[in-house]
Amino acid sequence: MIELNPIAIVKNTRKLVKDDHWGDVVSTIELIPPMTEEALAGIESFSHIEVIFYFDQVQTDKIETGARHPRNNANWPLVGILAQRGKNRPNQIGTTICKLLDHSANTITVQGLDAVDGTPVLDIKPVMKEFLPQEEIRQPGWVGELMQNYW
């Protein structure tokens, strides 16, 4: 058994889960007890952070464990849920690298976080270029189509 507890909550204007147009979304991430503002000390030194969050609005009967067409689009290939970034994942965990705009006390402001208002945050990590891939990234063609309007 693994038990995770939220460390923060996302606050923004996106109330409904939608697949596209996340690039201009500005969110605040507010720490919740027992986390204190000390946990964010020095975060403003980074340009980007990685936010790990819980897709709490996904209904358990919608969880996928096998293969599906991304966004249920039959024009795209049937691929396993672990070969895509859909929200209907077995453990409902999402992760996004987003731009850090501001830090004040127990709150950070970010741009490009694809999580709706009220989403529980499980962890926050600074993005360090040494942890990013050092070689060229390869992906199938359908991903470019899918992501065309995402940001």
| Domain map (residue ranges) of the chain | 8-146
20 pLDDT band (50/70/90 cuts)?
Answer: low
149 pLDDT higher than 90: no
Let me know if domain 8-146 sits in CATH 2.40.30.70: yes
Q: Which residues are CB-contacts of 6 (< 8 A; sequence separation ≥ 6)?
A: 32, 54, 120, 121, 122
Q: What is the pLDDT of residues 45-92, one digit of tens each?
A: 999 999 999 999 999 999 999 999 998 899 999 999 999 998 999 999
